[in-house]
Structure 1
Amino acid sequence: MSPPPSTCDVLVIGGGNAGFSAALSAAQTNPRAHVVIIDKCPASWAGGNTYFTAGAFRTAHNGLADLLPLVNNTPPEKAAHIDMPIYSEKDFTHDLNRMTGGRTDPALAKVLVQDSREAIGWLAQNGVRFQLSFNRQAYEVNGRLKFWGGLALKTEDGGKGLVEDHLRAGQKHGVQVFVDTAATALLTNPHGAITGVEVLCRPHQKRTITTGAVILAAGGFEANPQLRAQYLGPGWDAAHVRGTPYNTGDVLQIAQRDVSAKAAGNWSGCHSVAWDADSPAHVGDRGLSNEFTKSGYPLGIMVNRDGERFVDEGSDMRNYTYAMIGRRILAQPGQVAFQLWDAKTTDWLRAEEYRAEVTRHLKGDSLEELAEACAEVGLVNKERFLATVEEYNKSVRPGKWDPAVKDGLSTHGLSIPKSNWALPIDKAPFLAVRVTSGITFTFGGLAVNPETAAVISETTGAEVPGLYCVGEMLGGIFHDNYPGGSGLTSGTVFGRRAGRAAAEDVGARDRL
């Protein structure tokens, strides 16, 4: 493959959803601009963490009629059986605040929420194929498909499909993409404005790309065990990496080193999920992608290897808890846990996450047999396991079970309750799977101007001329937790703004 050019107008570092959104926006804003994306990964790893997502996008919307024009999988006869409540900007803002304990940056949150629907419409106009997420965000109850948790949209074929669509859109608008090209330094003039980027191309070829604007979209430090332990805390080097092995935080460090980029956000926080304990530890599987996720815990219970429950599995809808549940699992002995169900709920588990071809099923025709199966893969205390299930079963009170709403079907008298969807685990056959923590992305990043995503200098408090930051590298929105689907939306919202600002900046300088 040919090396990247020695000069361009707008240079994007990172080829995931945020980077492509920024590049496409820049190319559309200034069709004469030469827009280039570089990524340090090889071609076989193109797409960054975006490739590994389920492709969920959270947006404010006015109900089903507002979203139907965007999707390709909902004919009128199917739409007639859908229940989808309005998800207003107020709802989205409320969820951001409650998921982050009120610590989300209000200016960034306002932009994210207010731009969400328009940004997703823009993606659709540019060929991104959206669908209603029937498999992940709806349950069929009494013949009605009931959407829940404020999240309804996904991309066709998940993250893989999203990357394919971005590549097509970028090619259509003249965006050039170069892989095997790692940024190693940001270059500035005596006034502190960006003038170029030093890169290292394989094999060991150093180059300088002169450019008028740089957009940082290279991801967080989730694939770097040393930085995880340093910033997230002890034990985080043991977390499994869900996605690309190339998000190691080097561009964050380069920006802080070379232009004193100001740090922002929750550097000890991250998105981490319940993840198959048999998955590869240090890298995602591009074939299985998101199938190692194990988000069926609200339908059952979880115990650690000592047989103790450690979390309220029904505290909220799954897409409001799944991004923090990995932290709770990582804190358990051995960084593992067991998810348990009985015959009443196993049919509700999503096949793409729990099919036997991917996940080791631990089975039993009695709870004693299930305990034995779990003991073969790390359960230490079978007696406590059985006692925990018995205590849980006795604590469940009668009620109407409905997985599509917070049904209030809860336990009573337990030190750790299950607040919703509590059914006794008493009908054979029984099923368990062993899980650990899978880290998706880190929350710490760089401070930006919310209007343009321009990077702020720690030294001057002003914008670094010509430098922008989007995606996982943008800090300040998410803390401890996040509403599912808002990460991809953030990448597009701020990528779109950064691309527009960069192209306008370059165009203005060309006219001088």
Structure 2
Amino acid sequence: MATSTPNAADLLLQPWDILILGSGSAALCAALSATESASPPPRILLVDKAPLEWAGGNGYFTAGAYRTQHDGLEDLLPVVSNVSEEMVGKIDLPAYSREDFAGDLERVTEGRSSKVLGRYVVGESLETVRWLKGWGVDWWLSFRRQAYFVEGRWRFWGGLHLTVREGGKGLIRDLSEAVGRSGCVVLHEAAAGRLLVDERGAICGVEVERGGRKYEVRVPSVIMCAGGFEASPELRKKYLGPGWELAHTRGTPYNTGDMLGAALTLGAKTVGDFSPTGCHSVAWDAHSPKDGGDREKTNEFTKSGYPLGLMLNADGKRFVDEGIDLRNYTYAKFGRAILEQPDGIAFQIWDKDGQGWLREEEYRDEIVRKIKGDSIEELARECAKEGLQDPDAFVRTVEQYNAAVAAHRDEHPEAQLNPAIKDGLSTQSSKMQLDLAKSNWAIPLVKSPFLAVKVTSGITFTFGGLAINPENAAVLREDDSEIEGLYCAGEMVGGLFYGNYPGGSGLTAGSVFGRRAGRAAAERAVTGRRMARL
């Protein structure tokens, strides 16, 4: 990985062409884009208030999944490294068109996503994947997360087919090594603060604090990739509402919204979802660290096996349709639903058959505290030791669910479980209907042993942010004019996601706009050189 340099004071007193705030995926993409967009390459400094051991922002904590449009397996084989010739004939991987990607973005955000931003993300997604491959990102087909092995074939689902080897850790490692080779300098434990402007209102520098001393770094272009405000309980409560201060922080504890505030001081325009629905939040291990992620376990605290089971709250009642859609389109909003429950907790439950579908990296013995029972009644009693308030209601809920599943099976004996599609296995039939349906993958919970896992809400990133010109990722003022020399990418960009998001599209968006921001900042550096020679 790119490393800090001991001559920090000297670095902060030197002139730079581009200053990038952050060391996550968007920041690293911006740096790589800038280095290749001008000759000679601009002088680029990246600063991050996090120490080196927390390098990589939230990107480090992801599964490394990228959503991209493509025309099928033939488009992806040239970029992946984990598919042998023998495997190719056993893979069912449907095309995921631009229309599919745009449609999913429109659908899950209920039509509120900026269509302009979306066009850039969707239209440049595959090109960006290929570009990242050229910089050394080791792409894999996502067999473990996005495919089921059924009848001798790997059946991919959900439009999210690419990941990076070793997930977010691998992504940040690959990008950081590329940034190091490119000649950029990365300085950690350096907190950006006030944005400096000249008499025209154009960026001319940034105040950076390191080691208790403040420096005015003079630079004509600043790319902000400093993350959202998800790690600040105070800002979560302010913008998302009461209760959100109680959520667990999934990733870096350093994304506290500092640079969002600095940009607002300059008159930057905010857009996007600053409401209680304005964040990505998931079912998260209730026993995980509260105020920041675990650098070793990273994404393993996610508990995404609910589509093949049930989720019950502390009152012993279901509160979501676990099978309303494929996991990729529900997991980012179900964390909010859990937070809204009594005590902000829930219990995910499965029988013996359901447990066979759980992902080992999320549910293995070493990563999760398992609650077990040889009967539903025993499972309820054990859950009561972990916060379940009404064991009797818990048992009744499961019994009613099983009865509804049996009624549907009697009426539709031809229906078969298929986790790779919305299979129609439901709780709703002409004989019996639950008030809250389970629309797909409704399999009975009847075989012992039974398993429960206690979950809470884990917040990943916030949706509200700054308005940008998508052509160059320049930050806009309230009157939609550009703040000259100020660019933005990653979580700080607002207007793309509302209430929910299609899994894997956040990393894609950060890369697309990071690349555009780097290119624009490099062009500004070239223009500055020309002006200096006149």
Tell me which of 241, 245, 268 is aligned to 1:261. 268
Which one-letter code corresponds to 1:2 in the other structure?
N
Partners of 1:454 and 1:265 lie apart in 2 by 16
For 2:423, the equivalent position in structure 1 comes to 407
Partners of 2:463 and 2:85 lie apart in 1 by 40
Tell me which of 469, 484, 491 is aligned to 1:449. 469
Partners of 2:238 and 2:205 lie apart in 1 by 30
Matches within 5 A, 1:484-499: 484-499=503-518
Detail structure 1 runs of 4+ shifted over 2 Å in the superposition. Answer: none
Q: CA deviation at 1:178?
A: 0.4
Which one-letter code corresponds to 1:457 in the other structure?
R
Which one-letter code corresponds to 1:506 in the other structure?
A
Partners of 1:501 and 1:250 lie apart in 2 by 24
Tell me which of 226, 249, 266 is aligned to 1:218. 226
Which one-letter code corresponds to 1:8 in the other structure?
W
For 1:61, the equivalent position in structure 2 comes to 70
Matches within 5 A, 1:243-322: 243-257=251-265, 259-268=266-275, 269-322=278-331
For 2:412, the equivalent position in structure 1 comes to none
Which one-letter code corresponds to 1:479 in the other structure?
Y
SS at match of 1:145: strand
Partners of 2:336 and 2:88 lie apart in 1 by 38
Which one-letter code corresponds to 1:332 in the other structure?
Q
Q: CA deviation at 1:2?
A: 2.1
SS at match of 2:45: strand
Q: CA deviation at 1:461?
A: 2.7
Partners of 2:417 and 2:334 lie apart in 1 by 23
Q: CA deviation at 1:312?
A: 0.1
TM-score by length of structure 2 reads: 0.95
For structure 1, the 5+ residue unaligned runs are: none
Aligned residue pair count: 509
Tell me which of 237, 244, 254 is aligned to 1:229. 237
Structure 1 position 29 matched with structure 2 position 29: no
SS at match of 2:356: helix
Q: CA deviation at 1:361?
A: 0.5
For 2:116, the equivalent position in structure 1 comes to 107
Partners of 2:325 and 2:242 lie apart in 1 by 27
Tell me which of 334, 339, 363 is aligned to 1:330. 339
Partners of 1:461 and 1:339 lie apart in 2 by 46
For 2:3, the equivalent position in structure 1 comes to none
Partners of 2:41 and 2:30 lie apart in 1 by 16
Partners of 1:312 and 1:32 lie apart in 2 by 52
Partners of 2:252 and 2:7 lie apart in 1 by 24
Cα deviation per residue 1:368-412 (whole Å; 9 max; x = unaligned)? 111111011111101000000000001112221111110010012
SS at match of 2:219: strand
Structure 1 position 197 matched with structure 2 position 206: yes
Q: CA deviation at 1:332?
A: 0.1
For 2:522, the equivalent position in structure 1 comes to 503
SS at match of 2:422: coil
Tell me which of 488, 492, 510 is aligned to 1:473. 492
For structure 2, the 5+ residue unaligned runs are: 1-5, 410-414
Q: CA deviation at 1:314?
A: 0.2
Q: CA deviation at 1:208?
A: 1.1
Which one-letter code corresponds to 1:210 in the other structure?
R
Tell me which of 433, 436, 443 is aligned to 1:423. 443
C-alpha contact (below 8 Å) 2:137/2:174 kept by paired residues: yes
Which one-letter code corresponds to 2:382 in the other structure?
A
Partners of 1:238 and 1:80 lie apart in 2 by 48
Partners of 1:2 and 1:307 lie apart in 2 by 58
Q: CA deviation at 1:32?
A: 2.7
Which one-letter code corresponds to 1:214 in the other structure?
V
Structure 1 position 149 matched with structure 2 position 158: yes
Partners of 1:363 and 1:312 lie apart in 2 by 23
Q: CA deviation at 1:89?
A: 0.2
For 1:12, the equivalent position in structure 2 comes to 20
Say which is worse superposed, 338-347 or 4-13, in terms of deviation: 4-13
For 1:357, the equivalent position in structure 2 comes to 366
SS at match of 1:494: helix
Cα deviation per residue 1:305-336 (whole Å; 9 max; x = unaligned)? 10000000000000110000000000000000
Partners of 2:220 and 2:35 lie apart in 1 by 14
Structure 1 position 239 matched with structure 2 position 247: yes
Structure 1 position 169 matched with structure 2 position 185: no
Structure 1 position 88 matched with structure 2 position 121: no
Partners of 2:264 and 2:318 lie apart in 1 by 42
For 1:97, the equivalent position in structure 2 comes to 106
Which one-letter code corresponds to 2:7 in the other structure?
S
Cα deviation per residue 1:93-117 (whole Å; 9 max; x = unaligned)? 0000001010110110000000000
Partners of 1:443 and 1:414 lie apart in 2 by 33
Tell me which of 178, 181, 192 is aligned to 1:183. 192
Which one-letter code corresponds to 1:155 in the other structure?
V
Tell me which of 450, 470, 480 is aligned to 1:461. 480
Q: CA deviation at 1:287?
A: 0.8
Partners of 1:373 and 1:140 lie apart in 2 by 33
Q: CA deviation at 1:234?
A: 1.2
Partners of 2:335 and 2:116 lie apart in 1 by 28
Q: CA deviation at 1:5?
A: 3.2
Q: CA deviation at 1:293?
A: 0.1
Matches within 5 A, 1:321-400: 321-396=330-405, 397-398=408-409, 399-400=415-416
Cα deviation per residue 1:207-233 (whole Å; 9 max; x = unaligned)? 111111000000000000011011111
Tell me which of 435, 439, 443 is aligned to 2:455. 435
SS at match of 2:204: strand
C-alpha contact (below 8 Å) 2:34/2:41 kept by paired residues: no
